[in-house]
């Protein structure tokens, strides 16, 4: 992740006088660097996303990871900012959206980061990883390929089980191809 000085410079470059809101995925190094940057200037607040139901703790995080649900927080908070909502209410909105957001990733293949030039993890033909992290961290388990229906059923069961009583009512379903 960028250094705190780089983050601060970016925040200062885009701040129009209303302040800046960092939306940070819950990975320890990212959280630490963004917190340091926020402490270096007035008018910077942050939201730490933690939507992943796949694992509670990993070698990269304390608590849940921030993954695809971060995009939902960014889109909703960004739209509210475009409509003129002030910094503190934007943070409150983002925190509420984050609290209500759950996700779980599934990988059929690994990605290759151009700078690394090789896949971030190995996965065999006919295998899939339930709950993989955005950096290729292991998830809940590796299994043989399943049908789309079986995958959707497992993901929905994990998310709805985690939400408990809060799962009653309307929901936003977001499917992406990260």
The per-residue pLDDT string of the chain (178 residues; one tens digit each, 9 = 90 and over) reads 789 999 999 999 999 999 999 999 999 899 999 999 999 999 999 999 999 999 876 666 678 999 999 999 999 999 999 999 999 999 999 999 999 999 999 999 988 888 888 988 899 999 999 998 888 888 888 999 999 999 999 999 999 999 988 878 888 888 877 5
Tokens of 21: 């809101």
Is residue 178, in this structure, part of any structural domain at all? no
pLDDT at 140: 86
Domain stops at, among 58, 85, 100: 100
Judge if 96 and 30 occupy the same domain: yes
| Pair (68, 123) in one structural domain | no
> Is the distance from CB of 121 to CB of 142 less than 8 angstroms?
no
Residue 22 phi/psi, 5° resolution? -85, 130
Q: What is the 3-state secondary structure (H, E, C) of the chain?
A: CCCHHHHHHHHHHHCCCCCEEEEEECCHHHHHHHHHHHHCCCCEEEEEECCECCCCCCCCCCCCCCCCHHHHHHHHHHHHHHCCCCHHHHHHHHHHHHHHCCECCEECCCCECCCCCCECCCCCCCEEEECCCCCCCCCCEEEECCCHHHHHHHHHHHHHHHHHHHHCCCCCCCCCCC
> Which of 83, 100, 117 is at the close of a domain?
100
Q: Kindly state whether residue 175 falls inside one of the protein's structural domains.
A: no
Q: Which domain holds residue 117?
A: 106-167
| Co-location of 47 and 124 in the same domain | no
pLDDT reported for residue 58: 64
89 and 127 in a single domain? The answer is no
Active site residues: 135
Residues 95 and 8 in one domain: yes
Whether 47 and 130 map to the same domain: the answer is no
Q: Which of 49, 71, 100 is the last residue of a domain?
A: 100
Whole-structure pTM value = 0.88
């Amino acid at each position: 992740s960028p250094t705190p000085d780089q983050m601060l410079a970016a925040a200062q470059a885009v701040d129009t006088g209303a302040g800046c809101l960092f939306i940070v995925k819950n990975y320890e190094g990212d959280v630490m660097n963004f917190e340091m940057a926020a402490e270096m200037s007035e008018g910077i607040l942050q939201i730490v996303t933690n939507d992943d139901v796949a694992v509670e703790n990993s070698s990269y995080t304390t608590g849940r990871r921030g993954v695809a649900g971060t995009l939902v927080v960014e889109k909703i908070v960004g739209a509210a900012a475009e409509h003129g909502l002030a910094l503190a209410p934007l943070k409150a909105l983002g925190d509420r959206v984050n609290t209500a957001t759950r996700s779980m990733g599934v990988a059929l293949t690994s990605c290759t980061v151009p700078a690394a030039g090789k896949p971030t993890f190995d996965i065999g033909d006919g295998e899939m990883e339930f709950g993989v992290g955005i950096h290729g961290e292991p998830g809940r388990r590796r299994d043989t390929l399943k049908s789309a229906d079986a995958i959707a059923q497992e993901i929905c069961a994990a998310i709805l089980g985690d939400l408990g009583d809060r799962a009653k009512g309307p929901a936003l379903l977001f499917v992406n191809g990260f």
